[in-house]
Amino acid sequence: MGGKIRTIELLANTASGSVGPAAPDEARAILAEFGGQANVRVPENGDVAGCLRAAIDRGPDLLVILAGDGTARAAAELCGVKGPLIAPLPGGTMNMLPKAIYGTADWKAALRATLEHGEERVIGGGEVEGRMFLVAAILGSAALMAPAREAVREGHPIIAFYRARRALRRVFSGRLRYSLDGTTRGKAEALTFMCPIASRALDDEDHCLEAAALDPAGVAEALRLGLAAVMGDWRDDPKVETVACRAARVWASSGVPAVLDGEPARLSASVLVTWKNEVARILAPPKATT
């Protein structure tokens, strides 16, 4: 473990997707192999936010997150570029940020690789209404498919069907208008914004977002594109074209449903989506070894 990392706080949310009750003890055993001061925290009574705040208040050199995408995003927001390094391990359902950083390794392999070979890296991200996203944001009707996605992942196809049908009833209730970098204008059912860390079209050094407008021609296509957006494979759809942008103005007749790094959100009727060059510092193995 690098000389700069002497104190570590690790938050293990045992109620999260792929963590489990044995994770805290497994994490302690791995951290003990590398020495230094390490403290493992488990949220009490579901108070993940309070546990996260307490860990950051200790001022560790490294904050390890073993939880879902929402907790990883919150840690990045709270730490920023001046706070502790963060290591968002794959502990949730979608693991969008961990997959972008560590690949498909499980959390124990990712933790060991990070402690052995980790290098500091500053990452950028998107911002909308004061909320960050480090991987992707979905605005508009496609975001309404998020509950159906969770039912699919949990193995409940019937529940997924009813949730998708309920979402479809709202698909055409309010299209988005948008302007990308003050020039390209259009209308769409949904907009997606991908950060360079997860984009196949951008390099990590690119200081912009990969934007795409989803505008289905009918209900069947709306269902297909909506599920593709929340499941993360919308870029493979032939009807989707992407462009690079640093700022996007989005407005609608009412509040805009959204998904930020896998977490549902409700935005105002008029929002500005912007790219930020530096939002947090992460510790991760060199890309060649992930």
Alpha-carbon gap, residue 100 to 199, rounded angstroms: 9
Distance, in Å, from the CA atom of 207 to the CA atom of 220, rounded to the nearest integer, reads 35
- Single-letter residue type at 219: V
Q: Which fold has domain 7-117?
A: Rossmann fold (3.40.50)
Quickly tell me which residue has 């979402």 as its tokens.
Answer: 167
Can you read off the two tokens belonging to residue 42? 């488990």
Task: Tell the residue number behind the tokens 């494979």, with chain if given.
Answer: 233
DSSP per-residue codes, 53-69:
HHHHHT--SEEEEEE-H
Class of domain 131-276: mainly beta
Let me know: does 89 contact 8? Beta carbons within 8 Å: no
- Asked if 60 and 9 touch (Cβ cutoff 8 Å), the reply is yes
Per-residue pLDDT at 27: 95
Region of 143 please: left (phi>0), alpha (psi -120 to 50) or beta: alpha
Q: Give me 202's structure tokens.
A: 């951008």
> pLDDT in tens for each of the 290 residues of the chain?
555 789 999 999 998 877 889 999 999 999 999 888 999 999 988 899 999 999 999 999 999 999 988 899 899 999 999 999 999 998 877 787 888 888 877 899 999 999 999 999 999 999 999 999 998 888 887 666 655 555 555 555 555 544 555 555 555 456 889 999 988 788 888 888 989 887 777 887 889 998 888 775 544 454 455 445 444 555 555 556 788 999 999 999 888 888 888 788 889 999 999 999 999 999 998 874 44
- Whether pTM > 0.75 for this model: the answer is yes
If phi over 0 gives left and psi between -120 and 50 gives alpha, with beta otherwise, what is residue 36?
left
Beginning with the edge strand found earlier in the chain, give each strand of the sheet holding 242-245 in spatial order.
Answer: 242-245, 209-214, 190-194, 136-140, 256-260, 263-267
pLDDT at 94: 74
Q: What is the pLDDT of residue 4?
A: 78
Domain ranges of the chain: 7-117, 131-276
